[in-house]
Amino acid sequence: MKDVARVAGVSPMTVSRVVSGEPGVSPGTAARVEQAVRKLGYQRNDNARNLRQKNLGTSTIALVVDDLANPFYALMARSVEDEAHRRGYVVLVGSTNDEPRREREVIAAFTARQVDGLIIVPTKGGHGFLKQPMEGGTQVVCVDRPAKGLAVDTVTVDNRAGAERAVAHLLGHGHTRIAYLGDRYDIWTQRERHLGYLDALAAHGLPEDPDLVRHGLRSHREARAALAGLRALDRPPTALFTSNDLITLGVLDGLDHPAPVAIVGFDDLPLAERLSPPLTVVSQDPVAIGGTAANLLFARIGGDRSAPRSVVLLTRLLVRGSGEFRAETTTEHPGHQR
Amino acid sequence: MKDVARVAGVSPMTVSRVVSGEPGVSPGTAARVEQAVRKLGYQRNDNARNLRQKNLGTSTIALVVDDLANPFYALMARSVEDEAHRRGYVVLVGSTNDEPRREREVIAAFTARQVDGLIIVPTKGGHGFLKQPMEGGTQVVCVDRPAKGLAVDTVTVDNRAGAERAVAHLLGHGHTRIAYLGDRYDIWTQRERHLGYLDALAAHGLPEDPDLVRHGLRSHREARAALAGLRALDRPPTALFTSNDLITLGVLDGLDHPAPVAIVGFDDLPLAERLSPPLTVVSQDPVAIGGTAANLLFARIGGDRSAPRSVVLLTRLLVRGSGEFRAETTTEHPGHQR
DNA sequence: ATGAAAGCGCTAACAC
DNA sequence: GTGTTAGCGCTTTCAT
């Protein structure tokens, strides 16, 4: 900046004014400055700028998700990025792998860089470490799951109702032995979806059969193994409810083709409608979720100090075929099997 | 920091030393400082720090992709992020939508924040605007495509050879009327893949039939429409080569089930092996691509000043079923059709 | 309309 | 081992 000032024959202050588009510079001077800027290829150092202007922010937000490679979070990230870009903000991203320790590290790196706001998919760990940055003015919004003990805007979907609808759908087709395959039980969405599963069973007067419930499936492989275990039971399930996309993929991989059991999965997948049978799913809208979270965050950054809001978006049951086998064909007439 | 110094009864400089883990502070003083840090919930302002330490960088890199929501780039991003996290770096991300203007905006916002390095999927636009930041020490690596006129490390795959192998595979199954469906021709990968398509035809002594070549398909919908046009030809193609994942999805959507033509797609898709028939594809490894680009970038950031390298990773043809229909069934015995 | 001085939060370089 | 001074690149404030 000093160099530009020298070349243009003005003071650094005038360069600052021109570069930042502030008024009060004569057109002639401005032109000379702009020429010097182009000649030297000068670009303002925004970090230095943000250091001085304490009242304005850094025009940087951060997004902390479980796993950026997961298409669900990738879509959310893109949606957040678009909202940020519209407003002249940039986005830092980090994946936690659902590890509280990595979450802490990543968020600390972000707050140390003075981000104006944070959109996080919180892990099961505590979030006391957010208190100080929040008092310092950093805004926080939770997405996908609430953070225990953290009173901030939160965007989730109706996991429990969505899961209940899925399982009720299977019950409506005559199934009574419906397995639940879920990820780690310490993940809020998984607990909610399991509760929805139980709700549906209870509404039909059915008790939970522990043999049919598998928690903690962290991978494609584990989901596949759990399915094998279920099918080896004396009275195997005639229908499956898979509680996230990864588990759905694993289960599909372990089944014959076409699948001999009914399946409904939570989360839509590309190509789901091209499978045979097409996959029935409970779908949520990651773009809407990300966009909503971003809008809440920018409202806060813009000065909104109202009480924290919880926004619950709705899931939809997409009936396509895989959940509509009648139970009779596999259980009530065992003689017909194999 | 001054507050911490006051509470601990030391000078700011001592706080700085403790907070940055520098030696030369007595254990007793360090303990008092750390206590004050905890009491006040102090966190160092890394932007201010980076301002002073000009020789060290900002420990921030940026990743600029076409579309973060595309699973291919999402996987790449996750891979880059992991490499960055291992080294204590954070990652800014931006999507360009393949628009040179947005690319410029996004990159300018990143360089203004003094990123140490940039991994970019370059658009077709010129990249002269990168010259100044690069002279200022910002390292740049291109990924997925080279940037015209930009001498930097570049990571790509063997697009041309991969496409040729795919089309040769179709030719090997007796097809002679093979359609090419591609994205915008101004995208380097699409030109390369089209060249590979021509290479394969030429090797079999076949000329290009312009009727069978469709460029510029930007969406699922456009791919579907292009397919309809191809099938309405007097002599429709018996096989299709789709030049990216989005086009493959659009084409699959427009076909009966099971597909009456042979298909090979560029880029793998989740569930591709669960389709009927399972989808034969040319697959590239986004995790390896992202990891390689990140390693090259960090080598540069670490001081490597050797001549720019071009790394070409290999694609693999995954034969699964959709590319192995014999051409005879649809063309040589027209009487059998319908 | 322009510039001089001071300072954002931190640390390099030098004292003691 | 600890503190002082100066200054990173920019902008606020106040003067001219």
Q: Indicate if B113 and B172 belong to the same structural domain.
A: no
Domain range enclosing B178:
159-285+318-332
Q: Which of A51, A71, A93 sits opposite B48 (nearest CB)?
A: A51
At A330 the pLDDT is: 45
A52 CA vs C5 C1’ separation (Å): 15
Q: Indicate if A234 and A326 belong to the same structural domain.
A: yes
Strands B316-318 and B280-283, bridge-based pairing: antiparallel
DSSP state of A183: S
Q: How far is CA B25 from the centre of its chain?
A: 47
Q: Indicate if B242 and B125 belong to the same structural domain.
A: no
CA distances to B172, B218, B239, B279 from B180, rounded to whole Å, are 17, 14, 9, 17
Q: Indicate if A78 and A182 belong to the same structural domain.
A: no
At B277-330, the pLDDT tens digits run 899 999 999 999 999 999 999 999 999 999 999 999 999 999 999 998 887 654
Residues of B in Cβ contact (< 8 Å) with A132: 41, 43
At B258 the pLDDT is: 65
How far apart are the two ends of chain B, measured CA to CA in Å?
80
Q: Is residue A212 part of a domain?
A: yes
Q: Which of residues 161-200 of A touch B (CB under 8 A)?
A: none
Give the C-alpha separation, A280 to A263, whole Å.
Answer: 7
At B183-201, the pLDDT tens digits run 999 999 999 999 999 999 9
Q: Indicate if B241 and B274 belong to the same structural domain.
A: yes
Q: Indicate if B186 and B245 belong to the same structural domain.
A: yes
Give the C-alpha separation, A305 to A155, whole Å.
Answer: 17
Q: Which of residues 94-123 of B touch A (CB under 8 A)?
A: 94-95, 102, 105-106, 108-114
Residue range A20-32: mean pLDDT, rounded: 93
Give the C-alpha separation, A161 to A92, whole Å.
Answer: 33
pLDDT digit of tens for each residue in chain B (338 aa)? 999 999 999 999 999 999 999 998 999 999 999 999 999 999 999 999 999 998 889 999 999 999 999 999 999 999 999 999 999 999 999 999 999 999 999 999 999 999 999 999 999 999 999 999 999 999 999 999 999 999 999 999 999 999 999 999 999 999 999 999 999 999 999 999 999 999 999 999 999 999 999 999 999 999 999 999 999 999 999 999 999 999 999 999 888 766 679 999 999 998 999 988 899 999 999 999 999 999 999 999 999 999 999 999 999 999 999 998 887 654 433 333 32
**Per 3-state DSSP, what percentage of chain A is helix, strand, and coil (rounded to 5)?**
45, 15, 40
CA distances to A110, B94, B302 from B139, rounded to whole Å, are 22, 17, 10
Residue range A148-155: mean pLDDT, rounded: 96
Are the beta carbons of A135 and B41 separated by less than 8 Å?
yes
Cα distance from B122 to chain A (closest Cα, Å)? 18
User: Which residues face B312 on adjacent strands?
Assistant: B156
Q: Is residue B337 part of a domain?
A: no
The candidate with the shortest Cα–Cα distance to A137, out of B45, B113, B76, is B45
**Residue A294 pLDDT exceeds 50:** yes
- State the angle between helix axes of B71-86 and B286-301 in degrees (0 to 180), rounded to the nearest 10: 40
Chain B interface, best mutation among A111, A274, A279, A320, by max B CB count within 10 A: A274
At A333 the pLDDT is: 37
Q: Indicate if B87 and B125 belong to the same structural domain.
A: yes
**Residue A321 pLDDT exceeds 50:** yes
Tell me which chain B residue has its CA closest to the CA of residue A48.
Answer: B51
Q: Is residue A52 part of a domain?
A: no
Q: Is residue A303 part of a domain?
A: yes
SS3 state at A19: helix
**Residue A144 pLDDT exceeds 60:** yes
Q: Which amino acid is residue B227, in one-letter code?
A: L
Tell me which chain A residue has its CA closest to the CA of residue B73.
Answer: A69
Cis-peptide, bond into residue B258, ω within 30° of zero: yes
Q: How far is CA B239 from the centre of its chain?
A: 28
Tell me which chain A residue has its CA closest to the CA of residue B286.
Answer: A69
**Residue A259 pLDDT exceeds 70:** no
SS3 state at A45: coil
CA distances to A125, A312, B144 from B157, rounded to whole Å, are 40, 43, 7
Q: Is residue B129 part of a domain?
A: yes
How far apart are the two ends of chain A, measured CA to CA in Å?
81
Q: Which nucleotide is nearest to B46 (CA to C1')?
A: C10
Q: Which nucleotide is nearest to B42 (CA to C1')?
A: C9
Q: Is residue A326 part of a domain?
A: yes
Residues of A in Cβ contact (< 8 Å) with B135: 41
Please state the φ and ψ torsions of residue B291, each to the nearest 5 degrees: -65, -40
> In chain A, what percentage of residues exceed pLDDT 90?
90
Q: Indicate if A325 and A191 belong to the same structural domain.
A: yes
SS3 state at B242: strand
CATH code where residue A175 lies: 3.40.50.2300
Cα distance from B249 to chain A (closest Cα, Å)? 7
SS3 state at B53: coil
Q: Which of residues 4-63 of B touch A (CB under 8 A)?
A: 41, 43-48, 50-51, 58-60
Q: Indicate if A198 and A324 belong to the same structural domain.
A: yes
SS3 state at A124: coil
Number of domains in chain B: 3
Q: How far is CA B168 from the centre of its chain?
A: 26
Asked whether A60 and B113 are in contact (CB, 8 A), the reply is yes
CATH code where residue B22 lies: 1.10.260.40
Asked whether B121 and B333 are in contact (CB, 8 A), the reply is no
Q: Is residue A105 part of a domain?
A: yes
Q: Indicate if B29 and B64 belong to the same structural domain.
A: no
Q: Is A253 on the interface with B (CB under 8 A)?
A: yes
Q: Is residue A27 part of a domain?
A: yes
**Which strand C bases fall within 7 angstroms of a protein CB?**
1-5, 7-13
Q: Indicate if A182 and A324 belong to the same structural domain.
A: yes
Q: Indicate if A172 and A271 belong to the same structural domain.
A: yes
Cα distance from B133 to chain A (closest Cα, Å)? 9
At A79-88, the pLDDT tens digits run 999 999 999 9
Give the C-alpha separation, A20 to A42, whole Å.
Answer: 13
**Residue A210 pLDDT exceeds 70:** yes
Tell me which chain B residue has its CA closest to the CA of residue A43.
Answer: B112
Tell me which residues have their CB below 7 A from strand C: A 10-11, 13-14, 17, 23-26, 28-30, 48, 51-52, 54; B 1-2, 12-13, 16, 19-20, 44-45, 48-49, 51-53
Q: Is B81 on the interface with A (CB under 8 A)?
A: yes
Give the C-alpha separation, B180 to B289, whole Å.
Answer: 25
Are the beta carbons of A94 and B81 separated by less than 8 Å?
yes
